[in-house]
Structure 1
Amino acid sequence: MLFADVVATSASVAATRSRLAKVTALVELLRRAEPGEIQPVVAFLAGAPRQGRTGTGWRTLVALDRTPADQPSLTVSDVDSALDALARTSGKGSAQQRADILTKLHDTATVAEQRFLLRLLTGELRQGALEGVMLDAIASAAELPGDTVRRAFMLSGRLPETAEAALTEGAEALAAFRLTLGRPVRPMLASPAKSLAGALGDLPSRIVEYKLDGARIQVHKDGDEVHIYTRTLREITDSVPELVQLVRDLPCASVVLDGETLALNDDGRPRPFQETMSRFGSTADEQVRALLLRPYFFDCLYLDGTDLIDAPLRERNEALTRTVGEHVIPGAVRPTVEETDELLSAALDAGHEGVVVKSLDSPYAAGRRGKAWQKVKPVHTLDLVVLGAEWGHGRRTGFLSNLHLGARDPDGGEPIMVGKTFKGLTDELLRWQTDEFPRHEARRDDWAVYLRPELVVEIALDGAQVSTRYPGGVALRFARVVRYRPDKTPAEADTITAVQALLPGR
């Protein structure tokens, strides 16, 4: 298959807001792909090479400036092989070797192919943003139920491998995907509740837990071998030795746990979220490494040879409490309304965000955000994509200040602008934005710097209102910055549907 066919399909998908049209275009391409082409085709269209990071930066790619080919000749296999070579290149002389590989690749690429490669290798195709549409397309192309494909993907965590199994071997191959020690699964997510009373009404058989202001972790233990992953499935085992030792000492031979971790002050209150996240960096300094993390576990997906992912939460919670002991998250099983009110007050008094109400009958729906888990926080918050920032005035002169905010298009299009805000920005954040934003710059004018959709920020707001100013028909009310979310990708930002749900009467 020609690489140009993938580029053309990507353009076709980007040009329409119709989910059906997107799926139809993808299905047609997937059915034409040879077995060995399925993985790279799916990876390219989902916006992330299957090789992961290739060690190639934005400046290197922009500096190539090669004369494009007149006619397409690159195949999918040609591009995939070149990316394999890039990913393998390391050590002395690797920069020149990468430049040589990229030069050869770009010399053979047309204008459209060169542009696609630039966006692909810099992450500007929004990694994972097309997952939902792509899963529908894989199911349709393979003539399989959508739930079967989604379940396999959630357990494998790898879209290209899931697609290849579905399209070459069918349902039997997908059924073989199981929770495997050492291979992280996509975390189950909670939906915002309209109110505490609404969540309790939806979930009469429930467990209620603290909603911590921490970082999500997934822990895998197999004997003395321990792996710890973030919510984006990035492994951080080497950065958190105290958590590794704690898990190694748990009274079980093997386990998979879901939870949160955070740094605490001497009085037991949570330290700022950014301080917790700083521990996950590979270049953390000595002071940061000295900041100890405390884990709080709230789910058990596997224990001593038994896969619990499809078991109801009541069974998983029993396995959890007998395994992690004091490290279980604060909460209560089947609390009354009055007890739940007290639990919410206690969580807020302790400096946490609120509570999560969960159905005791629910299985672990990996990767899904449904009504079985509902988070209750006293203030509405949304995770939005930073689209740009305007230069400040007055005391903010010289700083990038007023943020342009976008909600995720659930059908894989560009983020949809829903508002602006400069409220909540501390002097420290202003300095950070001004230093950081140019690293994500797509273009600029006299008034603002416009960014590639790569950064996620948490925004507090009082609600939403109908607006003709923004393309989604909705605008944020009294939006203010809470914090940046380095633990989230734009693919995990809240959707335009979530913003519209805040409109009065919805």
Structure 2
Amino acid sequence: MTGFIEFARACKVIEATPGSLDMTALVAELLEQVTPEELPVVTHFVMGEVFPAWSSEEIGVGAGILYNALAKSAGLSVSDIKELVRETGDIGETAVRALKKVSGGQATFSSFLDSSDELSIIEVFERFKAISKASGKGSQTSKIKNLQYLFNAASPEEVSYIARLAVEELRIGVGEGIVRDAISRAFDVPAEYIERAFMLTNDLGLVASTASTEGRNGVLSLGLRLNRPIRMMLAQVTPSLDAAISDIGIVAVEWKFDGARVQIHKDGDNVTLFSRRLENITDSLPDIVEAVKENVIADRAILDGEAVAIDENGRPRAFQEILKRFRRKYDVQSTARDIPLTLNLFDIIFLNGEELLDLPLVQRRARLAECVRSSDKIRVDTQYLTDDPRKILEIYNDALKAGHEGVMIKNPESAYSPGKRGKNWLKKKPVMETLDLVVIGAQWGYGRRTSFLGSYALACHDPDTGLFLPVGRVATGFSDEQLAELTELFADLIVVESGTEVEIKPEVIFEVAFEEIQKSSNYESGYALRFPRLVNVRADKSIEDVETIGRLEEMYLMQRERN
């Protein structure tokens, strides 16, 4: 059984290594050294996560719980911990400094333990699992006690990475791209096999374990599984309808509904619904569950669609109304009556044991139409095949008149690519272009807004390193009511606070409109947004949906070509 100390030492070396190729080699070496039982755990740990993205398990440790656990472990006050956080700017270094202190004769760290009592990787994981299962009355106390045990049993080398993992912020620069290539290198399986298996399972830990024990053939055999959600295929903005036709030729055109994405898994009479964040929202949407049971003829299927909240005139309600349905845990039936939903289906990726991802879109749509009976609650949305700009413009205008966002323009021959954003799916909306960016920091306001977080630092994502790269701040588009709600939302996500500046755990997504992307040396991404403003808080999206640095570069070049 491998000690957690070995993982911590590997992380320290990786963190100090600048090149992605060298980092990949170090991660591959780490994966080769651990046991088969430890391999899936380490694969997730090294990316700064405890559980796979599809899992409903969440560690659920915010700054408050972590500070309390550190304070109790070190015999300090929570105020002392907060002061250390302000000094260090890093929760890992804070943990090291706090636990090196001695208060009231209390000793810390594991130098007083027998060497046979050293923490193992699996023991750390099991403690995190216990933390994730704590619920109801006394759950906070249980989480703190489990963290206390880890902190008091850990060495100085280990405690920094335990603290970071507890808030799933490892910060060593390892993302999915590096781990994919490391698995390929460690177990001699082509990177494209690893990538496809990851697309189908949404679990690099499972892929690594399979590559280790079953090699290439095992990885190739990995596929879709009912009730294990996969990432949804994404679209990118097209500058114009003419540009979309130029890129694709004959296109498949659909309305872009003003709703929230839903992935539906049907297994006989069991229906499970997942949000875009891959959260299980089945209990919140009983009307959609019933509509699927009654109108989807297939025995086993995975469907992709958009849930739209409808008002008394048959027009879409505001996006925030939909989120009320998704978040609802109590009085679900009455909320369903007050905010009825319609499910518009537009794709199918699994049908009665057959994976359909590699089929062309037109063939998938035909299979979808065959297994769905349309009703007032569920329908297969209308799709048009055309290369006539006037027809597309007509569809676009009809969608806007009906209160929706615009149109989706798709390549009829395209496969379904989970989690990928490319030119096979394009979207056209009349508003300013928007980006989905993650909030990584904020600033306390001034004047009458001193009690609100009022200026938010935004970042895009580098999928290779897993890092979030700043692109600027947004401080407009907020009402006082919104600022109060957001300040409360971010309260448990604050990692470091120094003066008026606050560092926030990257979890909340802002949809931000902007006038222009500019080159900038002021931000780590190399880009800045001109005149950004908040459009929506996208509670339906996760950090996997954050725009990548590659996407910003592409949009910048497209912008230059247009100008």
Higher Rg of the two aligned structures: 2
Q: Deviations over 1:75-103 (max 9, x none)?
A: 21221233344445567766555444333
Alpha carbons of structure 1 residues 302 and 449: separation in structure 2 relative to 1, 3 Å: same
Question: What residue number does 1:53 align with?
Answer: 58
Question: What residue number does 2:454 align with?
Answer: 401
Does the CA contact (< 8 Å) of 2:11 and 2:172 recur in 1? no
Residue 381 of structure 2 corresponds to residue 329 of structure 1: yes
Residue 440 of structure 2 corresponds to residue 392 of structure 1: no
Does the CA contact (< 8 Å) of 1:14 and 1:413 recur in 2? no
Question: What residue number does 1:156 align with?
Answer: 201
Alpha carbons of structure 1 residues 294 and 84: separation in structure 2 relative to 1, 3 Å: same
Does the CA contact (< 8 Å) of 2:128 and 2:166 recur in 1? no
| Cα shift at 1:396 | 3.6
Question: What residue number does 2:323 align with?
Answer: 277
Moved more, 269-278 or 72-81: 72-81
Residue 400 of structure 2 corresponds to residue 348 of structure 1: yes
The amino acid of 1:170's aligned partner reads: G
Note the 1:485-500 alignment, pairs <5 A: 485-500=538-553
Q: Deviations over 1:279-320 (max 9, x none)?
A: 122535566443121111110122344332221111101112
Q: Deviations over 1:399-435 (max 9, x none)?
A: 2212211111232353221112212112321121222
Find the aligned partners of 1:262 and 1:239 in 2 and give their Cα distance: 14
Gaps of 5+ in 2: 74-107
| Cα shift at 1:232 | 2.5
SS at match of 1:64: helix
The amino acid of 1:35's aligned partner reads: P
Does the CA contact (< 8 Å) of 2:457 and 2:473 recur in 1? yes
> Which residue, out of 230, 245, 263, partners 2:290?
245
Alpha carbons of structure 1 residues 178 and 496: separation in structure 2 relative to 1, 3 Å: closer
Residue 41 of structure 2 corresponds to residue 40 of structure 1: yes
Find the aligned partners of 1:176 and 1:195 in 2 and give their Cα distance: 41
| Cα shift at 1:339 | 0.8
> Which residue, out of 61, 68, 79, partners 2:109?
68
Question: What residue number does 1:173 align with?
Answer: 218
Find the aligned partners of 1:150 and 1:30 in 2 and give their Cα distance: 17
Q: Deviations over 1:40-60 (max 9, x none)?
A: 101211222138324555433
Alpha carbons of structure 1 residues 10 and 266: separation in structure 2 relative to 1, 3 Å: farther
| Cα shift at 1:169 | 1.1
> Which residue, out of 259, 278, 282, partners 2:305?
259
Alpha carbons of structure 1 residues 91 and 356: separation in structure 2 relative to 1, 3 Å: closer
The amino acid of 2:110's aligned partner reads: A
| Cα shift at 1:242 | 0.5
Alpha carbons of structure 1 residues 447 and 99: separation in structure 2 relative to 1, 3 Å: closer
Question: What residue number does 2:483 align with?
Answer: 430
Alpha carbons of structure 1 residues 129 and 459: separation in structure 2 relative to 1, 3 Å: farther
Residue 421 of structure 2 corresponds to residue 369 of structure 1: yes
Gaps of 5+ in 1: none
SS at match of 2:451: coil
Does the CA contact (< 8 Å) of 2:271 and 2:293 recur in 1? yes
Find the aligned partners of 2:420 and 2:346 in 1 and give their Cα distance: 17
Find the aligned partners of 2:519 and 2:7 in 1 and give their Cα distance: 38
| Cα shift at 1:243 | 0.5
Find the aligned partners of 2:393 and 2:7 in 1 and give their Cα distance: 53
> Which residue, out of 334, 358, 363, partners 1:315?
363
Question: What residue number does 1:505 align with?
Answer: 560
Find the aligned partners of 2:141 and 2:499 in 1 and give their Cα distance: 36
Alpha carbons of structure 1 residues 133 and 445: separation in structure 2 relative to 1, 3 Å: same
Moved more, 157-166 or 329-338: 329-338
The amino acid of 2:386's aligned partner reads: R
| Cα shift at 1:263 | 0.8
The amino acid of 1:279's aligned partner reads: R
Find the aligned partners of 1:196 and 1:21 in 2 and give their Cα distance: 44
Alpha carbons of structure 1 residues 396 and 345: separation in structure 2 relative to 1, 3 Å: farther
Find the aligned partners of 1:493 and 1:358 in 2 and give their Cα distance: 21
Question: What residue number does 2:532 align with?
Answer: 479
Alpha carbons of structure 1 residues 79 and 329: separation in structure 2 relative to 1, 3 Å: same
The amino acid of 2:48's aligned partner reads: G
Q: Deviations over 1:434-489 (max 9, x none)?
A: 22222211222333332122211010112211222222221101111001111222
SS at match of 2:158: helix
Does the CA contact (< 8 Å) of 1:408 and 1:496 recur in 2? yes
Find the aligned partners of 1:389 and 1:97 in 2 and give their Cα distance: 30
Find the aligned partners of 2:385 and 2:330 in 1 and give their Cα distance: 38
SS at match of 1:169: helix
Find the aligned partners of 1:127 and 1:11 in 2 and give their Cα distance: 8
Find the aligned partners of 1:123 and 1:198 in 2 and give their Cα distance: 41
Find the aligned partners of 2:239 and 2:111 in 1 and give their Cα distance: 56
Alpha carbons of structure 1 residues 486 and 10: separation in structure 2 relative to 1, 3 Å: farther
Q: Provide the TM-score with structure 2 as the length reference.
A: 0.83
The amino acid of 1:219's aligned partner reads: I
Q: Deviations over 1:123-152 (max 9, x none)?
A: 334899822221121122121111211211
Greater fraction of residues in helix = 2
The amino acid of 2:339's aligned partner reads: L
Residue 25 of structure 2 corresponds to residue 24 of structure 1: yes
Alpha carbons of structure 1 residues 204 and 336: separation in structure 2 relative to 1, 3 Å: same
Moved more, 409-418 or 457-466: 409-418
Alpha carbons of structure 1 residues 21 and 209: separation in structure 2 relative to 1, 3 Å: farther
| Cα shift at 1:203 | 1.3
The amino acid of 1:293's aligned partner reads: L
Alpha carbons of structure 1 residues 371 and 4: separation in structure 2 relative to 1, 3 Å: farther
Moved more, 252-261 or 56-65: 56-65
Find the aligned partners of 1:387 and 1:103 in 2 and give their Cα distance: 27
Q: Deviations over 1:104-138 (max 9, x none)?
A: 22212123422322222223348998222211211
| Cα shift at 1:17 | 5.5
Q: Provide the TM-score with structure 1 as the length reference.
A: 0.92
Find the aligned partners of 1:5 and 1:491 in 2 and give their Cα distance: 29
Identity of matched residues, %: 36
| Cα shift at 1:229 | 1.0
Find the aligned partners of 1:488 and 1:127 in 2 and give their Cα distance: 24
Alpha carbons of structure 1 residues 376 and 137: separation in structure 2 relative to 1, 3 Å: farther
* Cα RMSD for the two superposed structures: 2.6
Q: Deviations over 1:229-257 (max 9, x none)?
A: 11222211111110011100123333221
Question: What residue number does 1:130 align with?
Answer: 175
Question: What residue number does 2:91 align with?
Answer: none
Residue 468 of structure 2 corresponds to residue 415 of structure 1: yes
Alpha carbons of structure 1 residues 13 and 201: separation in structure 2 relative to 1, 3 Å: farther
| Cα shift at 1:323 | 2.7
Aligned residues: 506
